[in-house]
Structure 1
């Protein structure tokens, strides 16, 4: 996994979690869903990169 992709994945996860938690505290369900989607995208990116690493000889 390249370092830059790893950083992007973690950044998306952290940002998504922060948005989700803040929106939940404020009662804003739309923004909460957007934060959850951002967090999920970061997790998917991380899994993709780990899969690519596992396929390398």
Structure 2
């Protein structure tokens, strides 16, 4: 019985760790994307204005 409990404990501990790791990665990736997207839109808009004016 102890061996079965230990096996289940290890299994769910590993699954919980993986789930937490994936959730953390997704949250940080989304945050990084949002910041990068905002910055690139601003730079792209300004670059478009400069190109439009110079043409």
Q: What TM-score do you get using the length of structure 2 for normalisation?
A: 0.51
Shift of residue 40, structure 1, vs aligned partner: 0.6
Root-mean-square deviation (CA, aligned residues, Å) is 1.5
Residues 7-37 of structure 1, C-alpha deviation per residue, up to 9 Å, x if partnerless?
xxxxxxxxxxxxxxxxxxx641111010010
Q: Which residue of 1 is the match for residue 18 of structure 2?
A: 37
Which structure has the greater CA radius of gyration? 2
Structure with the larger helix share = 2
Runs ≥4 in structure 1, deviation > 3 angstroms? none
| Runs of 5+ unmatched residues, structure 1 | 1-25
The size of the alignment, in residue pairs, is: 32
Shift of residue 49, structure 1, vs aligned partner: 0.2
| Runs of 5+ unmatched residues, structure 2 | 39-55
Which gives a bigger RCO, structure 1 or 2 (Cα 8 Å, sep 6+)?
Answer: 1
